[in-house]
Structure 1
Amino acid sequence: MRHPREAIDQFLGQQASSSQTVAAFCADNDLKVPTFYSWKKKYNRPDTVEPSGFCELTPVGEVSKRRLCLPSGLELEITGLSIREIAELVVEIDRAHV
């Protein structure tokens, strides 16, 4: 059964604004799923909203590899911690040995 362009546009709009999957929408409206997807492709109705070009960025802490050489000759290599975390660790070790 052929549908006029107005009906196709209406089906596409109704499905997009509904909470139904394409399969459920097609079953409720006696449409074939492949036909529905061909309409979407032909009439350029994407499945998702186009991104606006902006995204939220979350800064990642600086991770470093440091080697500490203590006066006693002990060498300590610390990897995977930020400089701040290394400083806090050194202060905590220093306080524990006072």
Structure 2
Amino acid sequence: MLILNNGQSDLNSVSILFQLFEGWPKKPELLDCFECSPDNITFESEVMGKFEGKVQNDTLVGEFVEIGYSLNLSRSTSFWQRSISTQDK
């Protein structure tokens, strides 16, 4: 999951790039973030449903509400960022 400023200047200026990697990588989704502050992050995935969470100590903590799937993701370099920096060497 990657939280992005999408360049819009209105209330929808933050998007979520979400990709599920269970077994085999799924197609990424670019989603509007309904609430995006460190204390409240809310978005909805077509695949996983509604997510509600927050950032604590550089870790995204939350749950996909309908399916009861909890997340605890520490901030790190994404797979794609690691792949690009590896190619530069």
Q: Report the TM-score, using the length of structure 2 for normalisation.
A: 0.26
Q: Which has the higher strand share?
A: 2
Q: Which has the higher helix share?
A: 1
Q: Which of 1 and 2 has greater Rg?
A: 1
Q: Report the TM-score, using the length of structure 1 for normalisation.
A: 0.25
